[in-house]
Amino acid sequence: MKYALTLALLLASPLTAQTLPEEAPDERGLWERGADRLLQNLLDEMAPALDEAEQAFREMEPTFRAMLPMMRELAEMVGDIDHYHMPEKLPNGDILLRRKPDLPPEPETPPERDPERPMPQPGLPDLGPGEQIEI
């Protein structure tokens, strides 16, 4: 009986050679963890402002779409913007773009185009009136 009781106690107790598995050490260093926390906190604080900016851009999208053909035409006429001084607004409301001296000759004036036909957009989808792109 003593042997059975001793055997039961020995089997019930954990073996001294057994150890609990250690948790895997965090392989990232202190600087990396600190940088991660800093960036996560920054993103958490910026989230409301980013949401507001997204909403504002969604509200302004129709205006930007309406301005896009005119901006393309202006970009075609001007060419490289570095060839010009800062724009000047005159008292009567006109805006002057003065060309810098000693630069390559002015770009040729683009041929007249049909104002009803939108300008082609290389690399962008061709949207008809009222069509939208999912953002």
CB environment 82-117: b (16+ within 10 A), e (fewer):
eeeeeeeeeeeeeeeeeeeeeeeeeeeeeeeeeeee
Q: Given this model, what pLDDT does residue 36 score?
A: 93
Q: What integer best gives the mean pLDDT of the chain?
A: 78
Q: Given this model, what pLDDT does residue 83 score?
A: 83
Q: Given this model, what pLDDT does residue 55 score?
A: 94
What pLDDT, in 10s, does the model give residues 48-97? 999 999 999 999 999 999 999 998 988 888 778 888 889 899 999 998 88
Question: In Å, how far are 1, 3, 93 from 13, measured between CA atoms?
Answer: 18, 16, 93
* pTM reported for the whole predicted model: 0.35
